[in-house]
Amino acid sequence: MKKIFATRLCLGLLLISLLVSCDQVEQLVKQEDKPVNFLNGTFSVLKPGSWSTMDNLNNEADLQMGNLFKEAYVIILIDNKQDFDNIDLQGHSDLTRSFLKEALKNYQESQRVKLDIGGHSALRYRLSGSVDSIKIVYWHVTIETADHFHQMLLWSLPSKFGENEADFNSVIRSFKTI
């Protein structure tokens, strides 16, 4: 009798902990998107509600965000146009994609997609390859503003990219100058 009671008690406690965990996960999912300012408050994007700002994705990034559980990440790197000699949006995109091409094994690239993001011209490419035998899919987005080029890298594992695409689109579409 004591074993049955102990078993039922353990199962009951396990069920309660699962319900609490599910409730916490549901609350995390229901969090609202929030604006995140970067480069001294001159630019902004929306951080999806279940994401966090991060500081360990790229040492040179001006903004880093993601969701470890969803394997969804974004970094934004900003270059001042004054630092380049006669380079345009396409040239900056080509240059920054070339660094990824060197770093990834089995590199593949889609055709470019022209975008208008907050009134700014932008180019998006879908890139894929592998690092240390792990496959990765990227969206490489270059946005041109009056004085800057913004390289936005959004990535996930191939098996999770589709489910993260809505968050990725939300981040890209929300880019604005302040």
For position 133, what pLDDT does the model report? Answer: 94
Q: Are 70 and 156 in contact (CB under 8 A)?
A: yes
φ, ψ of residue 167 to 5 degrees: the values are -65, -45
What are phi and psi for residue 115, nearest 5 degrees?
Answer: -130, 155
Per-residue pLDDT, 69: 95
Q: Give the per-residue pLDDT at 122.
A: 98
Distance of CA 47 to the CA centre of its chain: 9
pLDDT of residue 30: 54
Report the predicted TM-score, pTM, of the whole model to 2 decimal places.
Answer: 0.81
Residues of the chain short of pLDDT 50, as ranges, are 1-24, 26-28
Tell me how many degrees the CA angle 66-137-112 measures, rounded to the nearest 5: 110
pLDDT of residue 116: 97
